[in-house]
Structure 1
Amino acid sequence: MNLTRTLIIGNSGSGKSWLAQRLAEQLREPWTDLDRIHWLSDEHSIPRPRAEALAMARIAADEQRWVIEGVYGWIISEILHRATALIWLSVDDKECVANLHQRETQDDERLVALLEWAGSYRTRDDSSGFAAHQRLFDGFCGEKIRLADRKEIAALIHHL
């Protein structure tokens, strides 16, 4: 695969950040987490104005080499044309929820909302749900791969 400009999509807790960090390290490319573009606050409670978020994503995608990861289909659809590769982490919702439980240290209202949101990935009808990611994946003409579990994700890293 030509991983010069790689987009990684998938549910919250699917392993996007884990994979992006390792891929960026191996390829010596910058890594952009779309959470840092979408949210103004560290608490993930205040979204950045849409136009500002899109402008920031476009700036990141205009670079020659990168790894960008995130769940936000409305942002991804704006930069997908710049990608040379698309990786979709289509991990089971229950596994994603379990991963979030392990990752998050605080048990508060924000975590409860995140767990509910991740658990509804396959039924949500928004730009960040399974159906939207399926459309992005199906419509992408470049090199792409869909990974269904941790074993396949780890195998990709080991293959590189």
Structure 2
Amino acid sequence: METGPWQCESKGMSPPRSIRWVIVGNSGSGKSTLAERLGQILHRPIYDLDRVHWQPDGRKRDEADARARVAEIAATDAWIVEGVYGWLAEVALVRATRLIWLDIPWDACRAGLLARGLRRGMTVTDQNDLLAWAQDYWTRTTSSSFTGHERLYRGREGASAHPRRRGCLRTVITLGAGRWIPREVRAFNPAPAPPARPDRTSGPPRRHRAGG
């Protein structure tokens, strides 16, 4: 049953008033796209953790300062926070009402990264470094990896999991009461995946914006 621009999971339910959502996933998985869609239909502000982690001149922000900025965002009434940085997402999760984890295959993530081109002052070398870093999402063990995001998922006390394997959306987790899930989350799909897996790009990541 649909009500307005959204679909409720249970008949007669309406969208929750307290929308404080965190979206995590690999670079190129579609976090920014999904956040923008949800922000438009829910009329909530969107916060990109890239813009917290990185300063405008491309330098990394002091970690304590970055955490404080996310805590300030999380203290407000309603928001949608998206990003790959698990250590920052964890700060917002203290007050989050929903966690959305996009576990998207590498080919689709790569296609998404290539489709958006060079942005925010990125060079071709920066893009190649980002592709290499994103491809290592499933092998590294930092907070900004598959392992790190899984820890966020598993570590939420009282979280009830709602597996969503339609398309490529892996899991939606509700933190607290309520089972409302918007239609845009149900139907979300990243960019089509290319047919072949790319060669491994070597070299450590340079300054880049991880993005969605």
TM-score by length of 2: 0.66
* Residue from 75, 95, 101 that aligns with 2:88: 75
Q: Does the 8 Å contact 2:21/2:80 carry over to 1?
A: yes
Q: CA–CA distance in 2 between the matches of 1:68 and 1:146?
A: 21
* Residue from 47, 71, 76 that aligns with 1:63: 76
Q: CA–CA distance in 2 between the matches of 1:159 and 1:112?
A: 32
Q: Does the 8 Å contact 1:90/1:147 carry over to 2?
A: no
Q: CA–CA distance in 2 between the matches of 1:92 and 1:10?
A: 11
Structure 1 residues 37 and 146 mapped into 2: Cα distance closer, same or farther (>3 Å)?
farther
CA displacement at 1:94 relative to structure 2: 2.0
Name the counterpart of 2:48: 33
Q: Does the 8 Å contact 2:70/2:92 carry over to 1?
A: yes
Q: Does the 8 Å contact 1:57/1:75 carry over to 2?
A: yes
TM-score by length of 1: 0.87
Name the counterpart of 1:125: 141
Unaligned runs of 5+ in 1: none
CA displacement at 1:95 relative to structure 2: 1.3
* Structure with more helix by fraction: 1
Q: CA–CA distance in 1 between the matches of 2:53 and 2:47?
A: 11
CA displacement at 1:78 relative to structure 2: 1.9
Q: Does the 8 Å contact 1:90/1:149 carry over to 2?
A: no
CA displacement at 1:134 relative to structure 2: 0.5
Name the counterpart of 1:8: 23
Q: Does the 8 Å contact 2:53/2:60 carry over to 1?
A: yes
Q: CA–CA distance in 1 between the matches of 2:185 and 2:92?
A: 27
Q: CA–CA distance in 2 between the matches of 1:85 and 1:36?
A: 21
Larger Rg: 2
- Say what the alpha-carbon RMSD is for the aligned residues: 2.5
CA displacement at 1:46 relative to structure 2: 1.5
Name the counterpart of 1:138: 154
% same residue: 39
* Residue from 37, 40, 44 that aligns with 1:22: 37
